[in-house]
Structure 1
């Protein structure tokens, strides 16, 4: 069918979300064209990376035609009208599998949309499929025994990180302009860094989790992923909504205490007024020498634009212990029954967390909770003196995807399968909003993620500062963002044929 809208001369699959949405509103891009371009890109390259593991192109085609008809009628258009989106396989999309990367749920088909997906559809977004994640999002290498591994599109021998690795890889490849992610110990920030895209972990409660099993444990949250800060902010403006089923989402008279629509229109930020801090390791994260070196090399190119920058960090005493205990008891509460009833169908990362959680006493848990309170107060005090904090996003450069997790960094053994995520879970524990933006390439030629952290509930500020720094990076030749080679991906053999595809670790 020929579209009545004028085609764009370049491939629409490479348009950002905000750009595509504006073109759609001006009748310069058809939602059908955009959907077709995204489907075509998936068919061209996904065999090489295995990012979009469940697809519904028929529904996407139907929705794109309806979206185009709405444009031609002159209807009021939602903020995400006509934009394809990938949904992480932890979230229900009606009619599609929700496997959680678990063999136990490999045949599970969602009977209805998750409330977040309902909101995305209402804003005009068009879910096109499910993106890959490790089993129950446990671990920062995206691999499971249902769908296999997801490779890094910048180097198909390397990991896309996790747990939102499918979303990050798909975005980097141009399969869709937007994707959802979730984050506990960096699960959307780590893959964003590895794949050269943007991942945002909002303050707890900004994106409600109405069905979160442990509703009062402020660790895991959903967040937006995209190829730019502007696009991630646009998606956040829809994800952030009133839902009083989440006790951390403040709702008064049916409205949140923040304005979700404000995220769609970021205010300008004067970087020269900011008091910044920077750290390569928070004093505890096992950061690789290569990462430290790259971080040190980019700071002189960025910090002159700030009022001041001090090499310091919040007091992170007890971070590893607090995170280990709280993470583990969360797994006991939600996953122990699977290990007890069907142990052969439970992967090692999940099993390890359950066993660890069961090893803790009531005293251990009580002390971790007390330490957690002190930890958050220390961070609050730090941000009374500093506006924002810059760090590397991940402690290591992307490694071989056959490695389930790093057992050592620079020759020093790691403490657990998640210990190497310290740069991310430092801010998780504090509850402070954090964003990862691409900032050049490391000595291995792989994307490097710069993490920007702000005060709790200052989400608009973090996004605005990130957008300004992103613009600085774009104007710095050796730091400017570059995507993967699509032709190389097209010519690559299917990842599923690689040894260890389903049996990493």
Structure 2
């Protein structure tokens, strides 16, 4: 099978080909390594590559199949890990010069689960420093470029993962999301990124085990391949402080959306949104209605969400990176420093106020999603912007005062702890990808995936690969 055909097969198709011995895990691996070698220099998505380890693991997968034993649901699948996730024996820089030579002695739980399910680790994907912001650049590896237009950003913080997927460097990748880090780059790169419900994917080890704004999740080119990963990574582990009940991610995704009540929001509660995004996503209402959904235009009430999120995020940065700020302030980027210093200025009253606001937002969203099964909105407020800009200073004529203000259309959903997915939908006039954000009820991750699969099948947008990957 030609490499070009092989690398853009879905993960599910590749597993089936390998376990039925139509293609070997080594052939699949070499096709992806070749793609990385040819395309990665133009986009800088993969920053650490471990081909020897990968070849050893692929050979083990082939030997296992020769004995009639499948390693797991991800048998032989190449996978890339976000450079924020600790990987045993593989450099994990977190996009920081402070950790540019760090090689962890153990892996995070998500990385372990992917390996235990048969996945073959290829290496690490680029991130902003400590995942700070939705523009993927750092002083260790530089900037990652959007494969649909290398002059614009790929988003972040799972930007390297999104680019690698779009270019056919791997069929699956892991990622994490606090303010949109799985959803934003997925939208900018025409792939799928799922931020699960809080506790759905256990986080262990963690410096703040009860922190509810950040979570691991899954990325792939299709919704079905994201669901495949969720079968593996979304199981309780009581070493983690937060665990959601078991959900069935093995159920068929097809059908089941006709008659669903959906709220359609163009601004997620009054946020400025670039007209190019609005125009590109306008056909979504018609598509949903053709799927049999009952669609109403509604803007949810996210009053207080931005203030609460801002306080809680700053407090997280203070606790997690405060010591680095004391010991090596010159080695921290501007955005990280800004968050830490805002955290240092917080009072107990500030934290209490943030929690009250968060509770109010959650209660209002609970009531809203009792009336509607899903809330559907844009993923981003702007299309991909100049790769040399750290963040957009203006959105739809509204000045942005901080590096993450333009990401509020994702961070508001984060605060409410709801599952949300970015699914490819269309392209702007400039040819830049744009995604739809499907937001579901707390715990209804499988439902979110089914709605996303229905939209994916109706549009076929995911099949449009970047020219750079051809």
Shorter-chain TM range is: over 0.9
Secondary structure, counterpart of 1:383 in structure 2: helix
Distance 1:231 1:203 in 2: 18
Displacement of 1:14 in angstroms is 1.4
1:390 aligned partner? 376
Q: How many residues align?
A: 470
State the partner residue of 1:89. 83
Whether 1:368 and 2:354 are equivalent positions in the alignment is: yes
User: Could you tell me how far apart the structure 1 residues matched to 2:149 and 2:431 are?
Assistant: 9
Q: 1:457 to 1:286 in 2, by over 3 A?
A: same
Worse-matched range after superposition: 19-28 or 82-91: 19-28
Question: In the alignment, which residue of structure 2 is the partner of 1:248?
Answer: 242
Could you give the per-residue CA deviations for residues 50-89 of structure 1, whole angstroms, max 9, x where no partner exists? 0010010011111111111111211133000000000000
Q: Which runs of 5+ in 2 are unaligned?
A: none
For normalisation by structure 2, the TM-score amounts to 0.97
Greater shift in the superposed pair: 64-73 or 35-44: 64-73
Once the two structures are overlaid, the 10-residue window that deviates more, 357-366 or 327-336, is: 357-366
Query: Could you tell me which residue of structure 2 aligns to residue 417 of structure 1?
Result: 403
Distance in structure 2 (CA, Å) of the matches to 1:360 and 1:147: 33
**Match for residue 104 of structure 2?**
110
- Choose the corresponding residue for 2:315, options 316, 329, 341: 329
- 412-421 or 359-368, which deviates more: 359-368
Greater Cα offset, 273-282 or 212-221: 212-221
Whether the 8 Å contact between 1:286 and 1:422 is mirrored in structure 2 is no
* CA offsets 1:398-427 (integer angstroms, 9 cap, x no match): 011110011111332113110111111121
Q: Post-superposition shift, 1:9?
A: 7.7
Say if 2:269 is the partner of 1:283.
yes
More deviation in 350-359 or 39-48?
350-359
Task: Show structure 1 runs of 5+ residues with no match.
Answer: 1-6, 251-256, 489-505
Find 1:447's aligned residue among 421, 433, 444.
433
Aligned-pair CA distance for 1:487: 5.8
Distance 1:242 1:195, change over 3 A: same
Matches within 5 A, 1:139-218: 139-218=133-212
Q: Structure 1: how far apart are the matches of 2:273 and 2:51?
A: 41
Shift of 1:115: 2.2
Are 2:263 and 2:297, in contact at CA under 8 Å, matched by a contact in 1?
Answer: yes
CA distance in 1, matches of 2:221, 2:429: 22
Q: In the alignment, which residue of structure 1 is the partner of 2:113?
A: 119
Structure 1 CA distance for aligned equivalents of residues 388 and 326 of structure 2: 28
Does the Cα contact within 8 Å between 1:273 and 1:306 map onto a contact in 2? Answer: yes
Distance 1:413 1:10, change over 3 A: closer
Tell me the distance in 2 between the aligned counterparts of 1:301 and 1:307. 9
Does structure 2 retain, via aligned residues, the 8 Å contact 1:275–1:306? Answer: no
